[in-house]
Amino acid sequence: MPNEHQNGREATLAGTLVAIADTLVSDFDVTDLFDRLTSACVDVLGAATAGLMLADHHGNLQLVASSTEAMRQLETFEMTHREGPCLDSYSSHEQIAVDLRDGAAARRWPRFTAEALRLSFVGVQALPMRLRGETIGALNVFHTGTDRLNEHDTALAQALADVATIAILQHRRWRAVSCSRRNSRSPSTIASSSSRRRACSPSGGT
C-alpha cells in the first residue's frame, strides 16, 4: 500500500496540475503559477530548491520565481555572469543534468560552478520550458545531497514545465487579445490611450 509520503506527494502533484489546468480557462495570477511550479519541484520531486527563468521580448532570460533565497542569489549570479545550465538549456532547447563536483562542470561554467558549490549545491538539472518549436525559458532544479531526479522524476519535472509553458503562452495570448480589443476602441483622451499602450507593451507583463 502507498505510504504517507507517497500519498502526500501524489496529493501535491494533483493539486499543482489542477491549479495549472485552471489557468487555461480563465485569467489568473501568473505569479501564483510560477510559485506553484517551483514549489512542486521541491515538494513532489524532492529537490533542494528550484527556480524559473523566462525570456523577455528581447530573448533575454529573467528570473521570475525561486523557492529559496539561495536559489535567487545563484540564478541572479548566473544571469549576471552569462554562464550556467539554465542559460544553456534555454539556448539548446535540451535538458541538462550535471554533478557540479565533476571537473567538467567547472570547465564549462567556472564562475557559476564555484558559486553553486559555495552555496552547498552539488547537482543541477535544467529543463527547457518549451512547446513544439518554441522555448520560452528554463526550469532549474538544484540538489544539495547525493539524490538526483531519476528518469521517472525527470520526465515528471519536464511534464510540469511543459504544462506550465502552455499556461503561460495561453496567458500571453489572452493579454494580447484583451489589449487589442481595448486599443481598437476610440480613446476618450490621449492620456488614456497612452496608458493602454504602456499596459499592453511586451514589458507590461509576462
Backbone angles phi, psi at 67, to 5 degrees: -85, -15
Grid coordinates representing 191 are 492620456
Span 92-106, pLDDT tens digits: 999 998 899 989 999
Say if residues 138 and 129 touch (Cβ distance below 8 Å). yes
CA–CA separation, 98 and 104 (whole Å): 9
CA distances, 164 to each of 54, 127, 139, 180 (Å): 12, 12, 10, 24
Domains in the chain with CATH codes: 4-204 (3.30.450.40)
pLDDT at site 37? 81
**Global pTM value:** 0.73
Span 11-33, pLDDT tens digits: 766 676 776 666 656 566 777 77
Residue 51 in 3-state DSSP?
Answer: strand
Grid coordinates representing 165 are 509553458
